């Protein structure tokens, strides 16, 4: 039998939902509120004992020797790039498909961004394309765990080591993910995380860099605090007012208030990861019979953090373009998004000489992708609404007509 096509909301029909469902959203509990209130009543609001506690909690969670907390995921990338020694004349390979901060951190330090393409299945950095772009000037490789799925870390680590480069894992999407049995954050020399509200956990704004290197950790702690060798709490503990500025640093400090929230949220990552996996599994099953939709890849040797659930439309099977499908889903009150516009396409990078056409997998994926809502606080009804809306819109615009059940 076939399913009748319901009238789309964009054409005057009744939307699947009465209120918009965002693609991502924070989940804050009473325990989080209590933790923040406790910090507000304490002697420290900015960088104090709760920052150190949060860093210890995060390092233990991912199995890293050090965790350095900073004010944003972008600051984490900047600090990691600084610790890697990137400077003028250095080349850094970055995937063309990522948020712009993955590349901007190189430019902040005067380095040259060399964009590489991604794999057609996982949309993570393609080691084969990386190999073609490595030169004697390659200082680092920034590998992005796109949508939460860890990239080819072992291959990229070997390539970086052989070329004398540093691997920086941009794990902004991948809190709670694993690669070949190892937690993300314990594998690369430098791994960066984002704690923005749409991520798996949040500190409002914030970021973390994990590393096994004592030297890298010390360098990044100075970097986040104006290049100062002793922060205010350390000076108080030592009973001294003197300090030295040994590096050119920034004010990238995380506060105790934010750290209290971070430690509280971190305790629920295991259960929130399970919920994200459940939602992703429901989507994968629900859309498996839609020939016009390409589903995100999974891999048996790694677990995704499922920050994003990105589908790709097989546009040759549609009667409309991606923009119309996007608008139709929004009209059904499903807060879809697109991640991301290829970084080389942005005007700043075009001014540096980058042109369209050099990254065929990235560019094809961008033209066809739509991000569906996925966050731990979604109810079963929210998930059902997304499934119903996607099927409703895809069937209405499909050249193949209604999908057989």
Q: What is the pLDDT of residues 283-337, one digit of tens each?
A: 999 999 999 999 999 999 999 999 999 999 999 999 999 999 999 999 999 999 9
Cα dihedral 224, 196, 102, 337, rounded to 10, equals -160
pLDDT at 396: 96
Note if 199 is an active site residue: yes
Residue closest to 346 by CA, chosen among 97, 126, 138? 97
CATH topology for the 30-266 domain? 3.40.640
- Rounded to an integer, what is the distance from CA 388 to the centroid of its chain? 27
pLDDT in tens, 32-54: 999 999 999 999 998 899 999 99
CATH of domain 9-26+269-397: 3.90.1150.10
User: Which residues, at least 6 apart from 382, have a Cβ–Cβ distance to it below 8 Å?
Assistant: 21, 373
pLDDT at 400: 75
Mean pLDDT of 49-66: 98
pLDDT at 387: 98
The answer to whether the predicted template modeling score (pTM) of the entire model surpasses 0.85 is yes
DSSP 68: E
How many Cα atoms sit within 13 Å of 112 on the Cβ side?
13
From the list 173, 199, 216, 253, the catalytic residue is 199
Q: How far apart are CA 11 and CA 212, in angstroms?
A: 56
pLDDT at 371: 98
- Name the pairing type of β-strands 207-211 and 66-70: antiparallel
- Rounded to an integer, what is the distance from CA 331 to the centroid of its chain? 27
Average pLDDT, the chain: 95
279: phi then psi, degrees, rounded to nearest 5: -65, -45
DSSP 169: E
DSSP 357: T
Q: Is the pLDDT of residue 402 over 60?
A: no
Residue closest to 295 by CA, chosen among 198, 382, 374? 374
Task: Please return the burial class of 38, using the count of CB atoms within 10 Å of its CB with bins 0-12, 13-18 and 19+.
Answer: middle
Domain residue spans of the chain: 9-26+269-397, 30-266
Residue closest to 62 by CA, chosen among 271, 203, 165, 212? 212
Mean pLDDT of 346-361: 97
């Amino acid at each position: 039998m076939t399913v009748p096509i319901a009238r789309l909301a964009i054409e005057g029909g009744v939307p699947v939902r009465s209120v918009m469902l965002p693609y991502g959203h924070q989940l804050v509990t009473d325990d989080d509120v209590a933790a923040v209130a406790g910090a507000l009543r304490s002697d420290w609001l900015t960088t104090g004992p709760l920052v150190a506690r949060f860093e210890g909690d995060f390092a233990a969670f991912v199995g890293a020797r050090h965790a350095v907390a900073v004010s944003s995921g972008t600051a984490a990338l900047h600090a990691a790039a600084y610790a890697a020694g990137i400077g003028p004349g250095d080349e850094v390979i970055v995937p063309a498909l990522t948020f712009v901060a993955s590349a901007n951190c190189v430019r902040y330090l005067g380095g040259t961004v060399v964009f590489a393409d991604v794999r057609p299945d996982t949309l993570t950095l393609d080691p084969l394309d990386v190999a073609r772009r490595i030169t004697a000037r390659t200082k680092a490789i920034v590998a992005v765990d796109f949508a939460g799925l860890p990239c080819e870390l072992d291959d990229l680590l070997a390539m970086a080591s052989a070329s004398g480069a540093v691997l920086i894992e941009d794990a902004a999407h991948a809190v709670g993910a694993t690669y070949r049995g190892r937690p993300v954050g314990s594998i690369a020399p430098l791994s960066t995380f984002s704690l923005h509200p749409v991520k798996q956990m949040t500190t409002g704004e914030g970021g973390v860099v994990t590393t096994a290197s004592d030297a890298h950790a010390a360098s990044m702690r100075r970097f986040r605090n104006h290049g100062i060798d002793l922060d205010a709490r350390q000076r108080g503990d030592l009973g001294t007012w003197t300090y030295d500025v040994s590096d050119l640093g920034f004010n990238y400090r995380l506060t105790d208030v934010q750290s209290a929230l971070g430690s509280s949220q971190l305790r629920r990552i295991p259960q929130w990861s399970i919920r994200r996996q459940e939602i992703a599994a429901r989507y994968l099953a629900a859309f498996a019979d839609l020939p016009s939709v390409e589903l995100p890849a999974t891999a048996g040797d790694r677990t995704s953090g499922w920050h994003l659930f990105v589908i790709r439309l097989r546009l040759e099977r549609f009667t409309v373009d991606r923009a119309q499908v996007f608008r139709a889903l929004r009209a059904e009150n499903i807060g879809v998004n697109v991640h991301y516009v290829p970084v080389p396409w942005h005007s700043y990078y075009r001014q540096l000489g980058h042109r369209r056409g050099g990254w065929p997998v990235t560019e094809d994926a961008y033209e066809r992708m739509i991000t569906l809502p996925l966050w731990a606080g979604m109810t079963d009804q929210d998930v059902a609404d997304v499934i119903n809306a996607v099927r409703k819109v895809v069937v209405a615009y499909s050249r193949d007509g209604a999908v057989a059940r």
